[in-house]
Chains A and B, each alone.
Chain A
Amino acid sequence: MKPVAVVSGTFLKHWRRWAPVAVLFALCILISLFNGNFLTFGNFIRLLNSAAIPIVLCMGATFIILMGSIDLSVEGVVALTAVIVSLLVVNDISSYAISLWAVPLAILVGGVMGLLNGILHVKLKTPSFMTTLGVGFAGVGIATSILGGATVRISDQTFRFLSLGRVFYIPMAVWIAAASVAVAYVIQERTRLGRWLYAIGTDETTARHAGIPIERTRILIFAIAGLFYGLGGVLAAAQFGQGHALISQGRLFTTITAVVVGGTALSGGVGSVLNSVIGVFIVVVLANGLVLMGVEPYVQQGVQGFLIIAAVALALDRSRLDVVK
């Protein structure tokens, strides 16, 4: 009797682990039944294109959430870095024109904002919720005051290649997002930092007793997250060919939703950057599919909300059964 129970328990564990993937597959099958165009190569590319920036942002946000904190500065950092990068490449307002050199600079600015998040949060012991909200507002504020409400129009074709360019039919932004996932996965799996952040997210007191440098890890993770948001800002500017303070509107909600739908628990310690990739695809496929199926706009938001809750419910259940230590 007992072995049977164990087997079914493991099966359940496995099933929970793969729940987000199953949700994604079910969605894809459902949508393609309504509209055959969903499964075309063209649409596949479009889905990847829509997913690229949210994936980059989610790599940073997942780390923060795994640690049991939250980062609400996403939109502020993206707005500021997008404005900075757009002013540094060839554009209609300024004349620095340093082209691709602007990319590492903007990413670095993102890292500094993240570092600021971490230092304020750890040293002043303010909750990450308020700290990052404040830093985010500051980011949008600085971006606004730099431009005074104007929009920078980017005419640098080398820079725009980051979004418009295609390598093996796949948009450049998608390759960059894939590289971000690889980097984040290595940090998560192959570094001490990665193991520490799970430990902190699971039980900070125990982690402290085990001698993990909690403060330093937290600050470093916030800074790394900032680097990812900085890259997200760069890609947003490349995608729209412009920079303005409102370019990041709505990014925060998508990012957090995707992380949670992917199965990373807001309580920390459970989840993975790979889960977030699945989470992003669930959100993107859903938005794409509702339009493809011709669901009434008035009904769409309701359906979206309902499906997100359903996906989170599956993920929550799983987290109780499968605590990562």
Chain B
Amino acid sequence: MKRLNTATRKTLKSLWQLLPVLAGVLLLAGMVVEIIPLLVRQGILGHGLWQDTILANIIGSVSTGQPIVSYVLAGELQTAGIGLLPVTVFIISWVTVGVISLPAEAVTLGWRFALSRNLIAFIMALLIGWLTVVTLNAF
């Protein structure tokens, strides 16, 4: 019973912490959908699949927040016409590369470990993104 109460309390605390973030992100996503076509028209996005993909990888790597946020943003980016490859790479780099948390990782696990881990994760985001799209197209 105590375990049940602890789990419920933890989950409600999570909900309370996530709620404002999610509301904020959904509000931003509302704007993103309106902005993306403008960015494409102005030439900031839509330069080509791989250029968009590299840009998405960099943005995902330096972004911070819950993975759930990346799903919402990526879903809206796709709705706005961004390709599946950049969208997938964005989701993967968001969760696997941690530029913001790099100093903390380096302090505890060493700079060599943290740098090589994040660099490999950055490259792997491109690889997994590409493989995902190829596999999906095969189905």
Bind each other? no
B residues adjacent to A (C-beta < 8 A): none
